[in-house]
Amino acid sequence: MAGIVICGAAGRMGRSLVQAVCEQGAALGGAIEHQGHTALGEDAGVLAGRSPLGVKLSDDVAAVFAQAEVIIDFSLPGPTMEHVAVARMLKRPMVIGTTGFDGRQRERLREAGEDIAMLVSGNFSVGVTICLDLLARASRAFAETVDVEIIEAHHRHKIDAPSGTALMMGETIAQARSQQLDEILVHGREGRTGERPTGQIGMHAVRGGDVVGDHQVWFIGEGERLEIRHIATSRMNFAHGAVRAALWLQGRAPGHYSMRDVLDLQD
């Protein structure tokens, strides 16, 4: 059955994505899990807390991808790269929400965009996309007259830090100020750090409990501070954004797209 294929369908985010596919009236074309997973063979709809959908979890990536119209992957960097290779071979578009890629993996993702339509993002929330737009505007207006700090918080189970969204925020601010993020980014502070350099971006990660996602950016000036904050209270806003992106990506030419394209946000 053609439709949207979900990778990591038995996980927390995977189940939310299956639910979002159903709620948006789209077709679930397949559900992938890794070899040996205990949920293989189970109905994806039942796992997501819904009625049976007739789509069973499979570890046969090539066979399931061959029937896909578009693939959504929120898994881990290693499996995601394996999925990208298969999707590229089969010319299937991909929406990727996996975070924690290393430099080589990011380069391979860039290369894959030469053959398939791809939308890779650390966050698919409409609110976060608008937040990034505000950050770019604030950064251009303030330039380097303020100090910038990014604070992000997530649940205790998140295995990478900083979050992909925090890095997106840092990249957005750096680009708006014509900077390279890796040249001015500092992760936390400890000991005798000395005076804060002009243009530096500080980034801090908090992990605990069941926090879905909380991102704050402080623009700290002399006599004033602007705070831009996004708080997520449910994974469903990410899931709905990813499904919206997947439906939009179908039929697009090869290349890399963004949530700004999906939402038609103009510069």
Q: Specify the 3-state DSSP secondary structure of 261.
A: helix
The count of residues in the chain is 267
Return the pLDDT at 197. Answer: 94
At 77, which amino acid appears? P
Query: What region does 76 belong to: left with phi over 0, alpha with psi -120 to 50, or beta?
Result: beta
Return the pLDDT at 52. Answer: 94
Yes or no: say if 132 and 168 are a contact pair by the CB < 8 Å rule.
yes
What 8-state DSSP symbol labels residue 253? P
Query: Which CATH superfamily groups domain 4-124+236-263?
Result: NAD(P)-binding Rossmann-like Domain (3.40.50.720)
For residue 220, give both structure tokens. Answer: 């700290």
For residue 249, give both structure tokens. Answer: 């990506």
For residue 265, give both structure tokens. Answer: 């946000």
Q: Sign of torsion, CA 252 126 4 73?
A: positive
Return the pLDDT at 80. Answer: 97
Return the pLDDT at 100. Answer: 86
Return the pLDDT at 122. Answer: 83
Query: Where along the chain do its domains lie?
Result: 4-124+236-263, 126-232
Return the pLDDT at 235. Answer: 84
Residues 210 and 144: their CA atoms lie apart, in Å, by 35
Architecture of domain 126-232: 2-Layer Sandwich (3.30)
Phi then psi for residue 234, to 5 deg, are: -155, 145
Q: Sign of torsion, CA 80 81 82 85?
A: positive
Residues taking part in catalysis: 154, 158
Short-list 185, 227, 216, 188, CA closest to 204: 188
- Flag residues of the chain having pLDDT under 70: 1, 267
For residue 168, give both structure tokens. Answer: 């997106």
For residue 35, give both structure tokens. Answer: 């070899």
C-alpha angle 34-239-135 in degrees, rounded to nearest 5: 120
- Domain 126-232 in the same topology as domain 4-124+236-263: no
Distance between first and last Cα of the chain: 39
For residue 253, give both structure tokens. Answer: 């030419």
Return the pLDDT at 265. Answer: 83
Taking the model in full, what pTM does it have?
A: 0.80
Return the pLDDT at 267. Answer: 61
Lateral strand order in the sheet of 185-187: 185-187, 201-207, 147-154, 213-220, 225-232
Residues 27 and 24: their CA atoms lie apart, in Å, by 9
Greatest pairwise CA separation for the chain in angstroms? 61
Q: Specify the 3-state DSSP secondary structure of 53.
A: coil
Return the pLDDT at 73. Answer: 97
